[in-house]
Structure formats: C-alpha cells, structure tokens
Amino acid sequence: MRANIRKNEQTRVVIVGGGIGGLKLAMSLRHTDYQVVLVDKNNYNQFPPLIYQVASAGLEPSNIAFPFRRVFQGWKNFFYRMAEVKAINEKEKAIETTVGTIHYDYLVLAAGATTNFFGNRNIEQNALPMKTVTEAMTLRNTILSTLEKAETEDNPEKLQALMNFVIVGGGPSGVEIAGALADMKKYVLPRDYHDLLERLHIYLINAGDRLLQAMDPKLSARAEADLRKMNVHVRNNWIVTDYSNGVVSVKNGERIPSATVIWVSGIKANTIEGVPQEAVGHNNRLKCDRMNRVKGMKNVFCIGDQSIIEDDRNWPYGHPQVAQVAIQQAVNVARNIQHCDAGKDMIPFTYNNLGTMATIGRKRAVAEISGFKFGGFLAWILWLVIHLRSILGIKNKLNVFLNWVWGYINYKQNLRLILRPDDKKEE
C-alpha cells in the first residue's frame, strides 16, 4: 500500500492530526506555495467543546464534524490521507503510516491527546470516556439504554445502580456534562420517564478542592452552587481508585454502585515512535522550544495538546491544553515555516489568553475574559455565540443554532434514538 502523493518542486509540509490546531495550520498555509499533506485516522474534523452535547442527545454528530476534503475542495496543493502514523524516520525525513511512507520537508505533530486513565485497567475497561465524537455516541447510547433498562428492573438495588450516573473529573468537560444530565433530569424525565424521576442521581466527583481549577475561585464556587441547585451531588477531594463489578471505589472508603461512569479526569498526549526520549515530557507531551520545534529534532514542530513549551516564563508548567493555544500555535508555526524558508528569524510563541468559559446547563455559565469575571445568563449567551462562530460550515452553524433555539423553547429533542450497528450474524 502506498500514500500515492507525488513530490513536486514545492516544499512539503506534513501535518499529523486534523484537530483544531492541525486544521488551522493547514488553512494558514492554504494560499502559500507549499504542498500540504494532512494525515489523520478520521476523515473529518471534530469540534471538541460541543462533544458533551452529542453525548447528552442535544446535537447530532454531523453538527460538530466536518469532512477534511470538503474544507479544502479546489485546493490543488492540499492532500489528505486517512491513516495512522506508526513512526517518524527523522534520518529519511519521513513518517511511516498505515498507507505507506510519506516524506516531508517540514513535519508538524498535532496529534492531540487521549483520555488518561492513570494506569487503572479496571477504570479503562469499564468507564466511558468523552474525548471524541465516536465516544460521545457510545455514551449517548449507554445513557439512553440504561434508562430503558431501568424501566423494567424490579430489583431495587440494581435499579438504583442503573440510576446512579457518576462523572469523574471537575474540569470544564465534567461540569458541562453534569449540567447537561441535570437538564435531562429536569426537562426530559418528567415527560419520558416520569416513574424514574426521583431515583436519578448525578454525582460529580472531583479530586481537587474545587471545580474548574483553571478559573477564578469565585467562578468555581458559583459553578458548584449552580450544580447543587440542579441537584447534582458534587464531591470535592474525592479520589476514585477503582471501578469494577459496577461499583465506584473512592480513596476515602466511599462506594457508589453505578452502571454508568463517565471518565473526564484528565488527558495525556498521543505518542509517536521515533521521537527522542529526551523530548518526551510530562503526560507524554513533547518538549519544544519557543518556536514549537521539538527538542533534538530538525524541521519537526509540535503544537496543541501534544506539545509543551519549556522556557516560557509566563507558563512554567506549560500552556493549558485548550483550543486557543492550539490555534495560536498553528498560526505562529505557519508563519515560522515561511520565515525559515525566507532566511528570516523565527518568532517565539507568545500565548494571548483570551479567557476561559464553561456552561452549566440551561441559561447558566461562567466566563473569565480579559480580566472580566461573570456568570449567569449573559455568560451563557456569550458562550453560545463564541462556539457557534467556531463551528465549520454554514449548514452546521444553522443546524446547531436551530437545535439550541428549539431546545431552549421546549427541550423536546428528537435525537434520543438508540442507534448502534448490529453484529453480522453468520448464516
């Protein structure tokens, strides 16, 4: 099998990963004289901030995903290959993929991160992550199937285990999915599962002393207060040690029977063979200089969740693994590649923190933007506007907007379908 990409006189930039950072980098090189090759195991870009809404049956997967080939239609210097990268051969200036060898002049690693289970095999096998669209669909099916099972369960202990939803992780993802499930309890269960209403319990377990550690303590407190008003059981300073046989075990001795555990407690960078060991840092993040060049490698850059810049005094522990960092690094790397070819000095990356936001269900959110800290309905509206603008495709923007408006009016979604492929049966 071959990649079948003809090398021409143009300088070739190979991008590994088509997430927010990788896609932004490719688009930043769109009107330049570079041959751009994008490699990703999926044929679409997904919008991570809204994955929780897919998981909670608020949006369709197609609303937050967009095909790469559609993005770059008509661009003759762009090539996409659906493949997994197995290794980097720096000596040959090539990457080894599942569709063959692809040579590069510049290589940019933007492969992102995956869920971190911290080496706990039981949790990895039994808990449900929420990092990708595929995982969100699995979670959606699990939530809806669990509610259907609960309707027919006559054993009180088994029924309560089915109705205990446990979310592990007090960051934005945990807060947002907790709020979404609380909204389902308030607006959906009274109509669709009225006999289960009083039995549904949502637990948000956080290892830290407060939710949303990256935000101002007052906003953290407000988010927690909002969740408690929505009847979410918030548990700070609880460390989950195991999840097996349908029981969540906590370090303090507490045990919660649950059939559905959502694990959003951290991430670790995806790894690629061929990177020098001295370049691998905490949680597999690749150590980079201020220009995002990977330590010990020539013409190899790394951006986004997969990278960590070591010598930025303003961020001694690395930049946060959020979309804005990836976007800004992508723009800067695209500029530096052009500077390098032109014999100009490269520009060190400087992160412009535009702020952080988190939604807490219907009409609630917290935001920290340009020194302003606020919450409530205004923050929620701003959250909606910012995320709507970031979605690819006019049709997707319109579909998301209409879904939000319809959901705001009556919350009568038609997306609560249990859709899963049946295994092929042998004749």
pLDDT tens digits, 330-374: 999 999 999 999 999 999 999 999 889 999 988 899 999 888 999
Stronger pLDDT, 62 or 128, i.e. the higher one: 128
Answer whether 0.85 is exceeded by the pTM. Answer: yes
Gap between the Cα atoms of 83 and 42, Å rounded: 8
Q: What is the mean pLDDT of the chain?
A: 92
How confident is the model at residue 19, as a pLDDT?
Answer: 95
The SS3 call for residue 89 is: strand
270, 258, 300: which is closest to 17 by C-alpha? 270
The CATH classification number of 11-115+268-341 equals: 3.50.50.60
Given a cut of 90, is residue 310 above it in pLDDT? no
pLDDT at 426: 41
**Where do the structural domains in the chain lie, given as residue ranges?**
11-115+268-341, 121-265
Contact 294, 302 (CB under 8 A): yes
SS3 323: helix
> Of the given ranges (149-158, 186-195, 197-206, 247-256), which has the lowest mean pLDDT?
186-195
Q: Which of 16, 22, 12, 23 is nearest to 109 (CA)?
A: 16
Q: How confident is residue 420, by pLDDT bands cut at 50, 70 and 90? A: low
pLDDT at 423 over 90: no
Instruction: Report, as an integer, the average pLDDT of 69-98.
Output: 94
What is the token pair recorded at 254? 């507490």
> In 3D, which of 292, 258, 272 has the Cα closest to residue 164?
258
What is the pLDDT, as a whole number, of residue 27?
A: 94
| β-pairing verdict for 100-103 and 94-97 | antiparallel
φ/ψ (deg, to 5) at 205: -100, 125
How many CB atoms are closer than 10 A to CB 410? 9
Q: Is the model more confident about 129 or about 390? A: 129
Give the C-alpha separation, 42 to 39, whole Å: 9
**Model pLDDT for residues 315-327, shown as the tens digit of each residue:** 988 999 999 999 9
Give the model's pLDDT for residue 3.
Answer: 85
Judge if 11-115+268-341 and 121-265 fold alike in CATH terms: yes
C-alpha triplet 238, 202, 243: angle, nearest 5°: 50
Kindly indicate the confidence band of residue 424, based on its pLDDT and cuts at 50, 70 and 90. Answer: very low
**Predicted confidence (pLDDT) per residue in 177-203, tens digit:** 999 999 989 888 888 888 888 899 999
- Rounded distance, CA 273 to CA 88, Å? 6
What 3-state DSSP class applies to 201? strand
Lowest mean pLDDT of 75-84, 105-114, 315-324, 404-413, name the range: 404-413
pLDDT of residue 414: 57
Considering the domain 121-265, what is its CATH architecture? Answer: 3-Layer(bba) Sandwich (3.50)
